[in-house]
Amino acid sequence: MLNWEKIFATRSSRMKASDIRELLKLLDRPDIISFAGGIPDPALFPDQEFKAAYADIFSSAAVNSALQYSVSEGYAPLREWIAGEMGKLGVPCGLDNVFIVSGSQQGLDYLGKLFLSPKDTALVTWPTYLGALQAFNAYEPNYDQLTPGGNRTPEAHRQTAAEAGGQVKFAYLSADFANPTGETVHRAEREKLIDLVDELDIALIEDAAYQSLRYDGEAIPPILALEIERKGNIDDTRTIYCGSFSKTLAPGLRVGFIVANAPVIRKLVLMKQAADLHSSTINQMAIAHVASRGFDAQVAKIKKAYSYRRDCMLAALEKYMPKGTSWTKPEGGMFIWVTLPKGMDGADLLAKAIATKKVAFVPGRAFHADGTGENTFRMSFSCANDKMIDEGIARLGALIAEEMPKA
């Protein structure tokens, strides 16, 4: 066997397949009730709308440009549509501020590449989106804990970064219905985050993948909007807003976007030129076609379905979870985060849940950059129906009660 490790770049050493992911891959079995995925329900895809969009493109002169190379910034009518939507969210911006990526995941990779030299520090919440850690890991960073509304001072972050041999470069978080917790960052905490990044003189990456999926409670302006309120215009801001059509329209088309100040966008465009030239032209055109004709109706449809499933899951947790467990009560998104009593282990529980109860979820440790979170797990309600939810949580509640440490 060749020893590839000797030849691979050092950055590849932090790219590891996780045991849990490997295990969860096997879960496509019909006898298992899985809350492990975090993907949209395919039954809610606007498939007929996409069929009409591609048919329109193919039956007009647009087909020539649809099949051709296109500009790295992205398809201008789609960027215009996004700029209009961002205006409604309190982010007035121009085309120079909007950049299309092949899924917001690609945006996270580019941002890691743009900001992180080896040993630099990225501030992330404990827990955070696993895909963000995977994207950033390739750039060999150190992580420090971001505590929105918490008591870590800029000085403390600076010191941690210096001890790791680099500088703090950005803070990354999901402010709305985060993956994995489902939690939302309140307005006052968003304001404090802007203070923090200003004091540290760093960027703030606002991952808005679930932002459109609010089921109740009052919408809070994006951090980027709050920063524009303070600073007057987008080109003086340091928040980089990452959006996606994956949760609202269809993830398979791989269309996401970044909205930010023009200097950062210009640099990102150069990265795209180097990486893949541009996102799929035809898919950007199809997304523009569908979004401009019926984005709000599509979002209303999925919100109705997911909010019902969230309510079912919250009701089932209330009914079946033993005392000593707690969970988040998300106002949107796809996830609920469960905390077990100290001493219990989410990964052990998963192994038992699959073997004895035929239920699956994702243990929480993988979402923690510091390797903690053993007594937590994530569940998604996006693809489950009410009967599955009730049955799955009943089984899980019974298992947890059996496994609870005796007082």
> CB under 6 A: which stretch of 7-15, 100-108, 379-387, 394-402 binds ligand PMP?
100-108
Residue number of the CB closest to ligand PMP reads: 103
Single residue of 34, 70, 97, 104 touching ligand PMP by CB under 6 A: 104
**Interaction pattern, residues 287-326, with ligand PMP; x per rule: CB under 6 A:** ----------------------------------------
d(C-alpha 163, C-alpha 122), whole Å: 14
Which three-class secondary structure state does DSSP give residue 85? helix
What is the closest distance, in whole angstroms, from the C-beta atom of residue 178 to ligand PMP in the complex? Answer: 7
Which residue, 244 or 376, is less far from ligand PMP as judged by CB? 244
d(C-alpha 99, C-alpha 117), whole Å: 23
Does 131 engage in binding with ligand PMP (CB under 6 A)?
Answer: yes
Which residue, 244 or 281, is less far from ligand PMP as judged by CB? 244
What is the closest distance, in whole angstroms, from the C-beta atom of residue 128 to ligand PMP in the complex? Answer: 9
For residues 149-208, which are near ligand PMP according to CB under 6 A? 174, 179, 207
Exposed, middle or buried by CB within 10 Å (0-12, 13-18, 19+), for 114?
middle
Please give the radius of gyration of the chain, using alpha carbons only, rounded to the nearest integer: 22
| Sign of CA pseudo-dihedral 186, 190, 191, 193 | positive
Half-sphere exposure of 73 (CA within 13 A, CB side): 18
Using alpha carbons, select from 144, 207, 142 the residue that is nearest to residue 173: 207
Q: CB-based contacts of 241: which residues, under 8 Å, 6+ apart? A: 86, 91, 206, 208, 222, 223, 224, 258, 259, 260
d(C-alpha 370, C-alpha 143), whole Å: 8
205 beta partners? 172, 240
Which residue, 40 or 346, is less far from ligand PMP as judged by CB? 40
> CB under 6 A: which stretch of 7-15, 28-36, 101-109, 347-355 binds ligand PMP?
101-109
Single residue of 127, 251, 364, 392 touching ligand PMP by CB under 6 A: 251
**Angle, alpha carbons 284-285-289 (nearest 5°):** 115
Which residue, 189 or 198, is less far from ligand PMP as judged by CB? 189
| Total interface residues for ligand PMP by CB under 6 A | 14
What is the closest distance, in whole angstroms, from the C-beta atom of residue 315 to ligand PMP in the complex? Answer: 25
Does 105 engage in binding with ligand PMP (CB under 6 A)?
Answer: yes
> CB under 6 A: which stretch of 24-32, 51-59, 86-94, 102-110 binds ligand PMP?
102-110
Residue type (1 letter), 201: D
d(C-alpha 326, C-alpha 324), whole Å: 7
d(C-alpha 385, C-alpha 383), whole Å: 7
Neighbours of 138 (CB within 10 A): 16
Which residue, 42 or 232, is less far from ligand PMP as judged by CB? 42
What is the closest distance, in whole angstroms, from the C-beta atom of residue 209 to ligand PMP in the complex? Answer: 4
d(C-alpha 404, C-alpha 392), whole Å: 18
Residue type (1 letter), 167: Q
Do residues 239 and 354 lie in contact, with contact meaning Cβ atoms separated by under 8 Å?
no
What is the closest distance, in whole angstroms, from the C-beta atom of residue 179 to ligand PMP in the complex? Answer: 4
What is the closest distance, in whole angstroms, from the C-beta atom of residue 334 to ligand PMP in the complex? Answer: 8
For residues 22-81, which are near ligand PMP according to CB under 6 A? 38
Going by their DSSP bridges, the two strands 326-327 and 376-380 should be labelled as unpaired
What is the closest distance, in whole angstroms, from the C-beta atom of residue 24 to ligand PMP in the complex? Answer: 14
Does 256 engage in binding with ligand PMP (CB under 6 A)?
Answer: yes
Residue recorded with tokens 């302006």 = 221
Which three-class secondary structure state does DSSP give residue 242? strand
**Interaction pattern, residues 342-381, with ligand PMP; x per rule: CB under 6 A:** ----------------------------------------
What is the closest distance, in whole angstroms, from the C-beta atom of residue 130 to ligand PMP in the complex? Answer: 8
Which residue, 213 or 389, is less far from ligand PMP as judged by CB? 213
Question: Which residues are at the interface with ligand PMP (CB under 6 A)?
Answer: 38, 103-105, 129, 131, 174, 179, 207, 209, 244, 246, 251, 256
